[in-house]
Each structure stands twice: as structure tokens, then as C-alpha cells.
Structure 1
């Protein structure tokens, strides 16, 4: 076994040395790594380092022989059926990320009673020799629409930071029972979670409750069928669990087909009994610069409801990558 040198990639900017080793040599223990650093056997650009040293793209990492570290087992090939299914969901892709149009009823991640979910299908999006793609955020199982996937851990970290920093603009469409009054505004209603796991319930809470979390949603009525049903544009300004579903219920307009919130009122006769909440558009800072704007077409059950009510959604715009006023398009949206 010989000494090798490995170059830090752009995707690995500012990663700690120990996390870099964990990514490339997952069977190397933290204790063994610390010992190698103390002895000077691991070096960066020829200099001694500690395990918490931050790496810069282009730096050379000296890697001594690692006799006690077995190579990780090769990843198994993806299930062909699941691979085809998730590939059909892709509405935008480039070398950094993918955007899926997740169907209603498909969970994002696993949990009690969940046997199929997006996370288990991501191997079907892996490029040859590339990393396994990673979820950046989640949407509810019953919610349809945009789901962001990073191709590499570094891109996932950048996009997750954008979500935490609220540099992401999320737009949802919903069909609700009733008509909001006023027809637009901001719902500023704290929320609290009762229970845990899949059985957890989110409720509107008073501001002085110990477990209450601040939650705000901007809403706008785009069309209405009298006072019976309305089409709302929802923009969450915070990211609480079930926020949009509880907020719309809190102003007396529960989302049509909601299996958990709104009670009997959320299930009007004559309409498909499935949650009418759709992650319509995502506007994010692209990890390579500029911004990416992607829009997902309405799911079949909401298209049917729109036709019944006479709501006109218009055309679904193609994905747009904006760089200083110019744009480039990835794969176009499904029609």
C-alpha cells in the first residue's frame, strides 16, 4: 500500500477534514483519523493539520496507507421499476441538482407503515460513478409538486443553507372550502405539535404557550366559485410542519380533501377526495450562481377540480435559470 494524494473538489469547499474523510473513507474511525493527524501522516498542501481543519478546493490531501480500512461495498444497482418511475418525475436537471414533480400519495421519506418513498428511489437518479442524490427538503405525502434533489453532498449543504436562510421562495396552490375574508393577507398564527411521528397533530396555539412556534403564511385568492370554493396562492414565510394546512383551516377555509385537518367540511361532495395542495413553484439561488425558477403542472385530481369550477391555471412556464438577466433552460416541464 502506498501514499496517495487527493485533490479537494469545488463541491467540497469549506468542509472539515474529518467530514471529508468520512465521505471518502467511511470505515475510518474518528480516533484513527486523529492519530494519523497527530503523527503528521495526513497532511494538506504538505502541512500538518487537525481533524477540524477546513478544506479549500484545489488543495492536495496526503493520504497514508490505511491498512485497517476496507473499501466500502459497491452500491447495488437501482431497482429498474423504481428507477423508471422516479425518472419520469424529473422536470429539471443539470450537473448540480434535479427537481421532481412528486405525485400526491407518495411519501418523501420512510416511516411507520410506509413501504415506498422518494428517498428509497433516489438510486435511480445516480449518474455512473457519481454520488447518491440527496433530498434537500420534504413535502407532505398527500401534497403534490416540487421536490428539490441535490446531486452531491456539497450541493445539498448549500441548498439546505439557502432554505435555513430563507433565501428560497416557495409558492403553493390550494383549493379550499369557502372564501377567505379578506381575500389576501398574512396569516400570523403560532403552531404547536401534539404527539410524535406519523400520528403527530399540529394545532393553532396562543402566543404565550410554551411549545408554540411562530408561523406566517402569505395568501392570495386567485379565483372563487362564489363562497363555496376558492383557489388560493400560498407562500409560507416560515417552514413549520403542516403549516399551510393548519393555517388555512384556522381562517375557516380548510383545504379540500385534507385527511387530517378541516373535518367533514374539508370533504365536499362531488369532488375527488384527495388533498388539493400543490407545491407549484420554487425560486432558489442556484449553487453555481444566479437563480433557478421551476414550476410544476397541476396534478390530475386538481386539474379535474379546476375544470369543474371553471378555474383557468394557464400554461406551466418552462424552468428558467437566471444569470444576471439572461436565462438558460433545462429539461422542460411535463405537459
Structure 2
């Protein structure tokens, strides 16, 4: 648990765990929500989503009124989301914007997302935080919320996220190096926004430290 108040819970989602039940019947995060009522008559519910392989900050609404407020914040782009990724290679500059439109494709083999002129407008701002030979530590701020947006934008820029089996390459057992690192939620006009940050997940620490991250700072 990263944060709790009368409206929301913010949890640190582990990598590899889906937020919803899927056809495979594998464990999912929603199965655990009943244990997060903390005295309220009903369990919390998801205010937004993360890919199964993405770790980090995930916001839950504790009751219908809270979920309605959060829905307006997320749909109106009033939240500030910050992601960390370690990518193969390097983006074209130390900071910039990926703004390629994205199209979701459904096939017999499953679905994926690609850059396409027929897709929806998609904007991701990025900044280099550190480097190591062959990889780069990025801070990313998505201004739109398309499925797999950061992963596809990075891959299209020639710097796929490490461990991305769908849009890049991954060694056996290698996990996706993408984390929902922080979020800012302006929940009240009379109070400062709620800012919540998650520590880097264990599977990303080695690559982050090689790129200059210092866990003691």
C-alpha cells in the first residue's frame, strides 16, 4: 500500500499480475480487492489500468462517488502520470515527444498495437535520466492513454523497452522494464494534489543502477 485516504487507495502492483480476470484463469489483482475494504461495506475498484507486465502505481476508488471523481480526472487528463523504463539503445534525443498515432489490431492470434495514420492521436513526452552501454533509463509522461502506448512508441523510435516480448525482444525469464513510477491527483480544489511514488521494482534495479540510479538518494 502506497497511499490510503477516504477516497482512494494507491497500491504498488507487481509485474506479471493482470488487473482483471482473463480466459486463462490465472490469478488477477481484482481477486484481492475484498481484503482492501478497510472498514467500508464494499471492496475498492480500479480507477484505471496497467498492463499485466507493467509494475507500479495503481489507483483504486474506495466507493462509487470516488470512482466517479476519478473517472472525470482520468478522462479529462487532469492527472499527471510518470513512468520509468529502461530501453535498448537510445531515443533520438535527450528529451522530446513521441506523437505517432496508434491503431489496435485484432487477429486470430490475438491483438496488438501499431503506429498507423489510421490510428488515434497519441502523445508521450520523454526525458533521458541516465545511460549505460546499450541501454537508456527514460522518464516518460503519457499525455494520452492508449493501450500499450509507451511500449509501441519506444519500439517505433528504435529503443524498445527491455523485456518486451511483443514489441521488442526478451531473454528467457526476462521481465518488462517498465514501471508506473508516480502519479499526481488533484482530488480537491481546497487541498494540494495527492502525489504518490513507487520504489523501482526489484527486477529493474540492476539495469537502473547501471544507468546511474542511486537507491540511497
Q: Specify if TM > 0.5.
A: yes
Identify the match of residue 247 of structure 1 among 117, 132, 153: 153
Aligned length: 216
Distance 1:101 1:289, change over 3 A: farther
Distance 1:115 1:298, change over 3 A: same
Partner deviation per Cα, 1:47-67 (whole Å, 9 max, x = no partner): xxxxxxxxxxxxxxxxxxxxx
Distance 1:191 1:121, change over 3 A: same
The answer to whether the 8 A contact 1:217-1:238 is kept is yes
The answer to whether the 8 A contact 2:130-2:211 is kept is no
In structure 1, C-alpha distance between the alignment counterparts of 2:10 and 2:108, rounded to whole Å: 27
Partner deviation per Cα, 1:221-280 (whole Å, 9 max, x = no partner): 111114x10000010010000000000001000000012111xxx3369xx711000000
Larger radius of gyration: 1
Displacement after TM superposition at 1:197 (Å): 10
TM-score scaled by length of structure 2: 0.93
Displacement after TM superposition at 1:289 (Å): 4.5
Tell whether 2:14 aligns with 1:103: yes
Displacement after TM superposition at 1:134 (Å): 1.0
Give the structure 2 partner of residue 188 of structure 1.
99
5+ residue gaps, structure 1, are 1-89, 317-335
In structure 1, C-alpha distance between the alignment counterparts of 2:146 and 2:22, rounded to whole Å: 19
In structure 1, C-alpha distance between the alignment counterparts of 2:74 and 2:123, rounded to whole Å: 15
Greater RCO, CA 8 A, separation 6+: 2
In structure 1, C-alpha distance between the alignment counterparts of 2:154 and 2:128, rounded to whole Å: 12
Distance 1:288 1:115, change over 3 A: farther
Give the structure 1 partner of residue 184 of structure 2.
283
1:234-313 alignment runs, 5 A limit = 234-262=140-168, 266-267=169-170, 273-287=174-188, 289-290=190-191, 291-307=193-209, 309-313=210-214
Partner SS, residue 31 of structure 2: helix
Tell whether 2:128 aligns with 1:221: yes
The answer to whether the 8 A contact 1:112-1:198 is kept is no
Give the structure 1 partner of residue 136 of structure 2.
230
In structure 1, C-alpha distance between the alignment counterparts of 2:6 and 2:108, rounded to whole Å: 35
The answer to whether the 8 A contact 1:158-1:287 is kept is no
Displacement after TM superposition at 1:128 (Å): 3.2
Partner deviation per Cα, 1:270-293 (whole Å, 9 max, x = no partner): xx7110000000001125853100
Displacement after TM superposition at 1:102 (Å): 0.3
More strand by share: 2
TM-score scaled by length of structure 1: 0.61
The answer to whether the 8 A contact 1:107-1:114 is kept is no
In structure 2, C-alpha distance between the alignment counterparts of 1:123 and 1:198, rounded to whole Å: 34
Partner deviation per Cα, 1:152-205 (whole Å, 9 max, x = no partner): 011011011100000000000000000111121000100101107992100011
More helix by share: 1
In structure 1, C-alpha distance between the alignment counterparts of 2:189 and 2:45, rounded to whole Å: 17
The answer to whether the 8 A contact 2:137-2:211 is kept is no
5+ residue gaps, structure 2, are none
Partner deviation per Cα, 1:114-156 (whole Å, 9 max, x = no partner): 4211112100101335222111000000000000011101101
Partner SS, residue 137 of structure 2: strand
Identify the match of residue 29 of structure 2 among 118, 125, 135: 118
